[in-house]
Amino acid sequence: MADETHAKAPESGATGSQQAPSGPGSGPRPGGGRPGGGPGGRGKFFRRKKVCKFCTEKIDAIPYRDVRLLQQFVAERGKIVPRRLTGVCTTHQRRLTRAIKQARNIALLPFATRH
């Protein structure tokens, strides 16, 4: 117990009062997990943070003509893959959606697969 109270004090001082209400219950867990797990243990408990392809690769324009690019964000049946699966940011998903819909209109991408 003594260890826990010690550990809590610097934490609440550093991060502010937000953690204080959840302190007693969740306190021991991060304290116990962090030193042992460190960066290696993260993979088990947290999913790898997905990052927006367009932000990281600095792709400014999403043209409807670029079928290769758009195809990465279209599922097998021709659906637009949701953001939560691809990790694309809101702004780029919006533009991507528009581009895909334009490409569908001009028969570059399918509305749905054949058959």
Partner 1 sequence: MSRLYEVMFIVRPDMAEEDVDKLITGFTTTVTNGGGVVKSVEKMGRRKLAYLVRKFNDGNYVLLTIEAGGPVVLELERRLRVTEPVIKFITVRMDEEEKRLAKLKALRGTRRKVSAEPAAQEAAAPAEASEPAQASA
Q: Give Cα separations from 113 to 64, 75, 101 (angstroms).
A: 19, 10, 15
Cβ 84 to partner 1 shortest distance, Å: 22
Could you say whether residue 15 binds partner 1 (CB under 8 A)? Answer: yes
Could you say whether residue 30 binds partner 1 (CB under 8 A)? Answer: yes
Could you say whether residue 64 binds partner 1 (CB under 8 A)? Answer: yes
| Member of 34, 50, 79, 94 binding partner 1 (CB under 8 A) | 34
| Member of 61, 76, 77, 115 binding partner 1 (CB under 8 A) | 61
| Residue 23 CB contacts under 8 Å (≥ 6 apart), including other chains | 8, 12
Could you say whether residue 92 binds partner 1 (CB under 8 A)? Answer: no
Q: Give Cα separations from 51 to 55, 77, 100, 102 (angstroms).
A: 8, 24, 20, 25
Which residues on neighbouring strands pair with residue 74, listed in sequence order? 80
Rounded Cα distance between 12 and 23, Å, is 9
Which residues form the interface with partner 1 (CB under 8 A)? 3, 6-7, 9-11, 13-15, 30-31, 34-35, 58, 60-61, 64-65, 102, 104-111, 114
